[in-house]
Homo-oligomer: A and B are copies of this chain.
């Protein structure tokens, strides 16, 4: 599988593309950073992030996009920019129908280094070794994006096995009465939210509805 990892940020948005499957050597296809100037206004910065990510999606056509999950325990100003840049990444991928997964920083560190508390240098060193690079990718945001992609490739088989096990369990314990089957059929797809189609907007969101006479 080919995965684009995105370490979201407004000043530096790390991007890295990794191809491979779990248990085999992985290949780095590309790595870089989408930058936007700190003195530009927020709207233009988000447009620049969008344009940058679109170029990466056009160039590498990834099958999956892995984005770092944003937490708000960090610096308030930074976390807002990070959340907004991650929204752009999610939007760009979902608009193309590419599945997006969110991984927490500790999931990524644990997957790549074995410890959820690894520092930037350890992550960079492991990314360099796993992808057989000559030197750690710079800046750290670029290395983090590759780590996200690696994490996604390695976690995917485990996640698939969990989903298969859950599906098997659900089919064995599914209610067999007609009423229960009818109830289940009224809520199709509820068990697989990831596969849900793009939501159709509420009729009240139709601009023409709210117009004054």
Contact = CB atoms under 8 A, between A and B. Distances in A.
Interface of A: 15-16, 27-37, 39-48, 50-52, 55-56, 58-60, 70, 72, 76, 79-80, 83-88, 90-91, 93-95, 100, 102, 142, 190, 193-194, 196-202, 204-212
Given A39-B193, A47-B94, A32 B199 contact: no
Nearest to A195: B41
A149 to B, nearest CB: 13
A35 B204 contact: yes
A141 B196 CA distance: 26
Nearest to A65: B43
A37 B211 contact: no
B91 A32 contact: no
A42 B212 contact: no
Contacts of A32: 204-207, 209-210
Given A30-B212, A80-B72, A193-B41, A36 B199 contact: yes
